Amino acid sequence: MIFSRIIGHVKKQQWTGAFIELAIVVLGVFIGLQANNWNQARQNRAAETVYLRALTKDFNSIETSVQTQIDFETTIAHFINQSLDEIDAPPSKNRNLRLGMLLSQLAARSTLKIESPTFRELQSSGHLGLIRDRALRGRIVEYFFQTRRWESALDRNNAAFVDNGYDVFLRTHGVEGVLWDPTLMNEPSALPSKLGADYLKLMHAQYGDRILAGRNPEFDRPPGDPFWGQLRQQLNWRAFIAGRNESIAIHIKKVTETVKAKTLAYLKAHRS
């Protein structure tokens, strides 16, 4: 309709009316575009807030996983010290059982996985640009890039020194696994595990004394036997890797706390 009026003004050479009608059209288009842009910006800000809040929840979960890794490696160090004490203790049935239980626990390793469904979604959907602050966006991207490297380093440590080192040594020397006995060890549970006490109950129910009675004749060797020197060497490397893994986990915990704090600070500063 409005274009018909503009054409009518032109035909009658009513230039003022034509320009007014044209200006109304241009202004209307401009206002429509601005309204659309404003609405899109508002939606982007809302989406940014949702994503960043979800990221902080992921950071909380990561902190919990990392703390579990730290606790695991700390317990490994505790068991290594106990193992060295048992090696120096006089041979006995209980001493052999305790040493078997401790060495069995040291064959375990914890795999750390840094998981963030939110960051994965931001990447796959191409929505990382919704985080308006370039510095924060860069820090978040760098954080997940670095944690993947640290996660890989920890896994390589376990594969090289636990799976292909310590564990192979135990099997090569015929050292049998011995199920944890809380009463004999005077400790309620073994390594930190999501399975907890239910795991021990299940193993006791399935195997019972057939495992707990394992004596491991290797442990009856005299103090000067080369076996003990080799075992100490393996425990030395096991301690080194536990310490290395714990230091990696502590570093991840610190940088996670930092990036989470910056994310929360940004959310607080940009509350709508």
- The per-residue pLDDT of the chain, averaged, comes to 84
Span 35-60, mean pLDDT?
80
Span 131-158, mean pLDDT?
95
Question: What pLDDT score does 241 carry?
Answer: 96
pLDDT tens for 80-108 read: 999 999 999 998 889 998 999 999 899 98
Is the per-residue pLDDT at 8 higher than 60? no
pLDDT band at 45 (very low <50, low <70, confident <90, very high): confident
- Distance, CA of 214 to CA of 203 (rounded, Å): 14
Specify the pTM: 0.81
Tokens standing for residue 39: 């609405």
For helices 226-269 and 134-157, angle between their N-to-C axes, nearest 10 degrees: 170
Question: What pLDDT score does 176 carry?
Answer: 85
CB 99 within 8 A of CB 87: yes
pLDDT band at 21 (very low <50, low <70, confident <90, very high): low
